[in-house]
Amino acid sequence: MSGPNTNYDPVETTPLQSEALEQMVAEATAAFAGAVTVADLKAARIAHTGDRSPLALANREIGALPPQARKEAGQRIGKARGEVNKALKAREEVVRAAELERVLTEERVDVTLPVELAPAGAVHPITGLMDRIAEVFVAMGWEIAEGPEAEAEWTNFDALNLHADHPARQMQDTLYLAPVENNTLLRTHTSPVQVRTMLDREPPIYVICPGKVYRADELDATHVPVFHQVEGLCVDKGITFAHLRGTLEHFARAMFGDVKTRMRPNYFPFTEPSAEVDLECFVCHGESVGNPERPCRTCNSEGWIEWGGCGVVNPRVLRAAGVDPDVYSGFAFGMGIERTLMFRNDAADMRDMIEGDIRFSRSLLGGAR
Ligand code: PHE
């Protein structure tokens, strides 16, 4: 058995020699000094103070030394580590400050630069006007009803007393959906919503239905193949033509201000009696009538312009929709929204309403409401 090796010189263990440690400190300090970014410094920190750094490895050597030599070696390493940490800390402050400075300059936002303006949209005047109409009726306690645009032929025609050979059922007016045997079409008016509403609920019924309708028309200044109507339906006990007249008077005033209206006998299969509602021409106020020197283009010198159709609901329609005509009666009306917009906002050409030019919408914004 050999005794402890008292001759063992700890200084001889290379990584623990003062020069070696000084070298490590010098290398670490140089690496820190060379680090420019926070990332560089992190790499240098791991390399020179991490678990696998020369100093950490040297530290492990201490365990191999004889006990009496460990203290001194430990102190030497501790001192070297202290120096390295101090250098790291000092450099960290410098690098952080530089980084902050860089971010503040490079990422500065110039609030005086002009902003790129994305053009904002606008509510289409047709939508705006339909909303306005809804508000007028909701304020009187009416409700909004809706129906599909792809409609059954029965609801669009038959239930409304439009017999099979009625001219409106001819193919040139109505857009049928293929296959024709399905008897489905694009609704030609909003009146099928009357039928749907009566089938759906019990009177009293006070509803309006604003919506899109379709007819196989050529596009010109006064015709569009897809347009909008607002349908009104009231079914209650004791409803007469007088209620219809009063309601439309209120509606006309809400749309056009102080305007004169008149009703002219007309024919619709779904109402009896039926009438056409006219507005007094707001351009000539009737002065062009019989006055060839001052003709009026708006009303064709007739003094009145046609606004929409209306009437007392035909008992046959009530019956088809499951309402007893001996107990209830009602009235209905239907107006074109495009026409209403034309009169109300002086929009002369219907094509403007479908082109989607934001300037048109903007010019009528507010006016359409
Ligand atoms: N549905 C008719 C049309 O499109 C308008 C109307 C509705 C007439 C309600 C009378 C009653 O022309």
Q: Whose CA is nearest to atom 9 of ligand 1?
A: 333
CA of 309 to the centre of ligand 1 (A): 5
Q: Whose CA is nearest to atom 5 of ligand 1?
A: 334
106-115 burial, b for 16+ CB within 10 Å, e for fewer?
eeeeeeeeee
Q: Whose CA is nearest to atom 8 of ligand 1?
A: 309
Pick from 229, 313, 335 the residue to mutate for probing ligand 1's pocket: most ligand atoms within 8 Å of its CB.
Answer: 229
C-alpha distances (whole Å) from 37 to each of 32, 105, 182, 190, 248 are: 10, 16, 74, 71, 78
CA of 275 to the centre of ligand 1 (A): 10
CA of 256 to the centre of ligand 1 (A): 20
CA 77 – CA 174 distance, rounded (Å): 98
Q: Which residues contact 96 (CB under 8 A, 6 or more apart)?
A: 38
CA 350 – CA 369 distance, rounded (Å): 18
pTM over 0.75: no
Chain-centroid distance of CA 244 in Å reads 37
Q: Whose CA is nearest to atom 7 of ligand 1?
A: 334
Q: Which residues contact 296 (CB under 8 A, 6 or more apart)?
A: 281, 283, 284, 287, 288, 303
Q: Which amino acid is at 352?
A: D
**Average pLDDT by stretches of 10, the chain with 369 residues:** 53 72 92 91 93 89 83 89 93 92 90 83 91 97 96 95 82 85 94 95 96 89 88 97 96 93 95 96 89 89 94 96 97 95 84 85 66
CA of 181 to the centre of ligand 1 (A): 26
